């Protein structure tokens, strides 16, 4: 059983409530608590030493990553983060300086994105350092974006560049909060997700949520410099990674890009591309394909279209193929 | 450095926000998000296999405990729980049946207290099963109760019976939500906390938060049957426990009672005792002492008053003296 199958089993028949607008299965839960004009967003995520960062990783970067992962999920709903609480689990005698470094990195990122750290819990995890972050935020009632609304004919866009996050980006990425809020304010987004399991994997989540398929244009996928560098390294340079892959394969399958993948009506594509260039001139936005009515994920290049089998990583019970450690 | 000193260091200088009414250091964070008439409560807590429950503990009970610990913190603010998100960390290949049992216990408790489970995250913790729960709830703006308001002369009350939780109560306690809401609705509570670190330890938190002292009446402290049973066992029956103690010592120092400790004006004490008996005839409520202007914690018995040195457990880096495993 992989992570997704396990989650599906565990989340069957969970208690819900009429005020739950979106529950398990989206980037954040969406709750109607009676806040005028807004919904509450609620999310949890965790980082584990040796899985998402290494014992050698500077603690400040690990702290940044712990908070920024949640921020990326708030971004995926076009939300605004508000505050976070931290569960810190560590072995007895774990280096205090490292805990303080972790908190320093986490706090700096919290300050940058105006997130209050409002509480925490420390407990013993005898073998390793693990931190779980829970975050609340808000989103306008009429302008939050779920994973579920992709429609056949939609254009598919992705921010930034993909692949090779293990070489460093997974520790210092900037969650796309401003971009997501701007997108939702100016364009009728149908569906959005942040890329944590790899483009192909997360696109499958969008497809499954809406019962649609997708076709990607190989030439349009923005491949990162890191993905190209990785492809040039000897096959055994990263023994914890799967078999050597091309830069395109890395961009399709590598986890922890933390970019935004979204769909909107194709008629908006040109207006979006123009407006984006004015508003975010230094950041890339790529139209990488379209949503199709028939199911399945296809990749089109100059030779034609091929169907992609399952890509992306499963985290649970499969630590070695997580994008971290790096 | 113990847990409390470490937390004090880590939580110095955390980013805050004008909408944070109460931050780190209270049972829950209290946030003003603009909800009409109410504040948002936000809390995280965790349970770890081998620390808070054992590999032999029925998974359903561990699931109950994970959620009920957070519910007890919501109760301590006289709040109403709303929803929770779950971070589940487990080794690769951890028994699926045990994960499902954990979720079943957690869900049953969530249903009983009308809490929606709205999201989760699974990740790898290679050596052991660990679950962090984050919860949001609400409380009336004019009727939430902090840890900080105890005043000299206040009467001190505690619900239920104390000590010996390790014999079973720590796995199946009922968080005192209805009791706390009723108390806050009908009485001018000055301060409240839920007992997780032991009566003496948590009373010290109340004292420190308000800069006051307290005097307990030994005869008035409600000692549980479990605490008396434990005192009759041979000294080596629980090798993971500190030295053998009297039932009174257990009631003062054992962790994880999950009862409510609160203070209110002494003039309300008789009215409270009478009203409680009518409203909760099967549950004990004890007036156990008073808040004093001079600092320090004293215990008075028929021989006079003695000052108590630090009691209660520190969880961090000191797993063996946690109330769990049991």
Phi, psi of A209 (to 5 degrees): -65, -25
The pLDDT confidence band at residue A233, using thresholds 50, 70 and 90, is confident
Percent of chain B with pLDDT over 90: 84
Task: Give the H or E element holding residue B201.
Answer: helix B199-210
Nearest to B316 among A28, A82, A124 (CB): A124
| Omega before A152 within 30 of 0, i.e. cis | no
CB contact under 8 A, B318 and A29: no
Nearest to B83 among A6, A34, A42 (CB): A42
What's the CA gap between B60 and B100, in Å, rounded? Answer: 9
- For the segment A175-230, what is each residue's pLDDT rounded down to a tens digit? 999 999 999 999 999 999 999 999 999 999 999 999 999 999 999 999 999 999 98
Tell me which chain B residues have a C-beta less than 8 angstroms from the C-beta of A99.
6, 10
What's the CA gap between B286 and B159, in Å, rounded? Answer: 6
CB contact under 8 A, B48 and A103: no
DSSP letter at B167 equals: G
CB contact under 8 A, B86 and A45: no
Tell me which chain B residues have a C-beta less than 8 angstroms from the C-beta of A95.
none
Confidence (pLDDT) at A237: 66
What's the CA gap between A204 and A314, in Å, rounded? Answer: 13
Sheet with A38-48, strands from edge to edge, namely: A20-22, A29-31, A38-48, A130-140, A80-90, A116-124
Closest A-chain CA to B319: A124
Tell me which chain B residues have a C-beta less than 8 angstroms from the C-beta of A40.
33, 40, 136
Of A21-30, A306-315, B7-16, minimum mean pLDDT range: A306-315
What average pLDDT does this structure show over A149-163? 98
DSSP letter at B55 equals: T
Do residues B106 and B137 make contact, with C-beta atoms less than 8 angstroms apart? no
Confidence (pLDDT) at B179: 98
- pLDDT at position A242 over 70: no
Closest B-chain CA to A18: B116
- pLDDT at position A236 over 90: no
Confidence (pLDDT) at B189: 98
What's the CA gap between B84 and A243, in Å, rounded? Answer: 39
CB contact under 8 A, B116 and A16: yes
Q: How far is CA A91 from CA B48, B57, B101, B317, in A?
A: 12, 22, 27, 6
- pLDDT at position B68 over 60: yes
- pLDDT at position B131 over 80: yes
What does R_g of chain B's alpha carbons equal in angstroms?
Answer: 19
Tell me which chain A residues have a C-beta less than 8 angstroms from the C-beta of B42.
83, 85, 118-119, 134, 136
Closest B-chain CA to A103: B10
Confidence (pLDDT) at B231: 85
Tell me which chain B residues have a C-beta less than 8 angstroms from the C-beta of A117.
11, 14-16, 23-24
| Omega before A301 within 30 of 0, i.e. cis | no
Tell me which chain B residues have a C-beta less than 8 angstroms from the C-beta of A34.
35-36, 38
Confidence (pLDDT) at A240: 61
Confidence (pLDDT) at A23: 92
Confidence (pLDDT) at B9: 84
Mean pLDDT (chain B, rounded): 91
Confidence (pLDDT) at A243: 59
- For the segment A285-302, what is each residue's pLDDT rounded down to a tens digit? 999 999 999 999 999 999
Confidence (pLDDT) at B309: 81
What is the nearest CA distance from A36 to chain B, expressed in angstroms? 7
Do residues A194 and A78 make contact, with C-beta atoms less than 8 angstroms apart? no
Phi, psi of A317 (to 5 degrees): 70, 20
What is the nearest CA distance from B130 to chain A, expressed in angstroms? 8
Confidence (pLDDT) at A2: 73
Angle at CA B42, nearest 5°, toward B39 and B45?
155
Confidence (pLDDT) at B232: 85
What's the CA gap between B278 and B267, in Å, rounded? Answer: 19
- pLDDT at position B26 over 80: yes
Confidence (pLDDT) at A312: 42
Q: Give the residue from B5, B23, B38, B44 with the most A CB atoms within 10 Å of its CB, the best one to mutate.
A: B44
* 3-state SS track over chain A: CCHHHHHHHHCCCCCCCCCEEECECECCEEECCCCCCEEEEEEEEEEEECCCECCCCCHHHHHHHHHHHHHHHHHHCCCEEEEEEEEEEECCCCCHHHHHHHHHHHHHHHHHCCCEEEEEEEEECCCCCEEEEEEEEEEECCCCCCCCCCCCCCEEEEECCECCHHHCHHHHCCCCHHHHHHHHHHCCCCEEEECCCCHHHHHHHHHHHHCCEEEEEHHHCCECHHHHHHHHCCCCCCCCCCCCCCHHHHHHHCCCCCCEEEEECHHHHHHHHHHHHHHCCCCCEEEEEEEECCCCEEEEECCEEEECCCCCCCCCCCHHHCCCCC
Percent of chain A with pLDDT over 90: 84
pTM of the model: 0.93
Query: In this structure, is the dihedral angle defined by the CA atoms of residues B230, B235, B236 and B239, taken in order, positive or negative?
Result: positive
Confidence (pLDDT) at B25: 86
CB atoms closer than 10 angstroms to residue B190: 22
What average pLDDT does this structure show over A135-150? 97
- pLDDT at position B127 over 70: yes
- For the segment B73-126, what is each residue's pLDDT rounded down to a tens digit? 999 999 999 999 999 999 999 999 999 999 999 999 999 999 999 998 999 999
Return the exposure string of A210-221: e unless at least 16 CB atoms fall within 10 Å of the residue's CB, then b: bebbbbbbbeeb
């Amino acid at each position: 059983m992989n992570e997704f199958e396990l989650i599906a089993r565990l989340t069957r028949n969970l208690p819900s409530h009429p005020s739950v607008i979106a529950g398990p299965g989206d980037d954040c839960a969406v709750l109607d608590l009676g806040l005028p004009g807004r919904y509450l967003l609620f999310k949890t995520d965790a980082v584990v030493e040796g899985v998402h960062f290494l014992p050698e990783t500077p603690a400040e970067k690990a702290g940044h990553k712990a908070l920024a992962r949640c921020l990326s999920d708030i971004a995926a709903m076009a939300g605004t983060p508000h505050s976070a609480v931290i569960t810190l689990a560590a072995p007895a005698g774990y280096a205090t300086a490292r805990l303080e470094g972790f908190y320093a990195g986490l706090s700096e990122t919290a300050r940058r994105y105006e997130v209050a750290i409002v509480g925490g819990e420390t407990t013993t995890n005898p073998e390793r350092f693990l931190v779980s972050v829970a975050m609340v935020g808000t989103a306008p009632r009429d302008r939050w974006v779920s994973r579920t609304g992709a429609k056949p004919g939609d254009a598919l866009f992705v921010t930034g560049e993909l692949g090779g996050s293990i070489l460093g980006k997974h520790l210092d990425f900037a969650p796309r909060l401003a971009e997501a809020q701007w997108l939702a304010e100016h364009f009728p987004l149908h569906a959005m997700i942040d890329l944590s399991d790899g483009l192909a994997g997360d696109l499958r989540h969008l497809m499954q949520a809406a019962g649609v398929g997708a076709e990607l244009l190989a030439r349009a996928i923005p491949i990162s410099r890191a993905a190209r560098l990785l492809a040039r390294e000897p096959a055994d340079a990263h023994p914890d990674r799967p078999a050597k892959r091309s830069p395109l394969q890395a961009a399709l399958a590598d986890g922890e890009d933390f970019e935004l993948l979204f769909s909107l009506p194709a008629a908006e594509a040109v207006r979006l591309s123009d407006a984006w260039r004015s508003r975010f001139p230094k950041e890339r936005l790529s139209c990488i394909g379209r949503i199709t009515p028939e199911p399945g994920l296809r990749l089109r290049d100059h030779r034609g279209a091929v169907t992609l089998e399952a890509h992306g990583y499963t985290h649970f019970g499969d630590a070695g193929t997580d994008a971290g450690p790096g």
